[in-house]
């Protein structure tokens, strides 16, 4: 078994209201993304042992990023959080490529939810960091996501030739 590297998991976002006009984007300089699934449980003692009753899972998608100047997706996330807009999110695994009808795509989980926390941290001796939490509606859906070549180049650091690329 091989461990999966953290840089192979990327989070992408888009406002639900822009799904017909804009591609999902990832925050620049993403340092960490986390999916938290929590379930509360009640225990009932019986003469035969404990019976557990669980609640529906609560899911939160969290990211941390070094804030880049004019990061458009962070600005959209901020405004959506302030205005209670629905945000779409994808947690994408670049280590797992699709096959057949999903060829050229990558394994992903799709979520919708609302921003529940947004924090900007500006230490005197470092870069500004932004942390964001998406409170997910439902449980998310597994599938395969199309990722632009531009994002793949950024995420996977592809080889570049020595010759100029423009005219």
| 107 vs 91: CA distance, rounded Å | 8
| 76 vs 86: CA distance, rounded Å | 11
Domain annotation covers residue 166: no
Report pLDDT for 161: 63
Judged against a pLDDT cut of 90, whether residue 70 lies above it is answered with no
Residues composing the chain: 167
| 61 vs 115: CA distance, rounded Å | 10
Span 50-56, average pLDDT: 92
| 72 vs 78: CA distance, rounded Å | 10
| 124 vs 54: CA distance, rounded Å | 45
Which of 148 and 10 is assigned the larger pLDDT? 10
Span 54-70, average pLDDT: 93
Report pLDDT for 9: 85
Q: Quote the mean pLDDT of the chain.
A: 89
Confidence label for 134 from pLDDT (cuts 50, 70 and 90)? very high
Report pLDDT for 167: 62
| 123 vs 129: CA distance, rounded Å | 9
Span 92-102, average pLDDT: 92
Report pLDDT for 148: 79
Judged against a pLDDT cut of 60, whether residue 158 lies above it is answered with no
Domain annotation covers residue 160: no
Domain annotation covers residue 1: no
Domain annotation covers residue 45: no
Please report, for the domain that includes residue 136, its CATH number: 2.30.110
Span 116-130, average pLDDT: 95
Phi, psi of 77 (to 5 degrees): -60, -40
Domain annotation covers residue 150: yes
Domain count, the chain: 1
Report pLDDT for 34: 92
Domain annotation covers residue 130: yes
Span 38-59, average pLDDT: 93
Domain annotation covers residue 165: no
| 77 vs 97: CA distance, rounded Å | 28
Which 3-state string (H, E, C) describes 68-115? Answer: CCCCHHHHHHHHHHHHCCEEEEEEEEEEEECCHHHCCEEEEEEEEEEE
Domain annotation covers residue 164: no
With b for 16 or more beta-carbon neighbours within 10 A and e for fewer, the 131-145 pattern comes to ebbbebeeebeeebb
| 141 vs 110: CA distance, rounded Å | 5
For residue 120, the enclosing domain spans 7-39+52-155
């Amino acid at each position: 078994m091989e461990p999966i590297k953290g840089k192979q998991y990327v989070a992408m976002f888009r406002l639900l209201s822009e799904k017909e006009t804009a591609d999902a984007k990832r925050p620049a300089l993403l340092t960490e993304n986390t999916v938290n699934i929590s379930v509360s449980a009640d225990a009932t003692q019986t003469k035969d042992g404990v019976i557990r009753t669980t609640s529906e899972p609560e899911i939160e998608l969290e990211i941390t990023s070094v804030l880049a100047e004019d990061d458009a997706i962070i600005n959209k996330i901020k405004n959506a959080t302030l205005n209670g807009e629905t945000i779409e999110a994808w947690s994408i695994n670049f280590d797992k490529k699709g096959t057949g009808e999903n060829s050229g795509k990558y394994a992903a989980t799709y979520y919708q939810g609302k921003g529940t926390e947004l924090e900007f941290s500006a230490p005197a001796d470092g870069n500004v960091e932004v942390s964001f939490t998406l409170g997910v509606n439902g449980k998310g859906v597994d599938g395969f996501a199309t990722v632009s070549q531009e994002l793949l180049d950024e995420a996977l650091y592809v080889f570049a030739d020595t010759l100029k690329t423009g005219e």
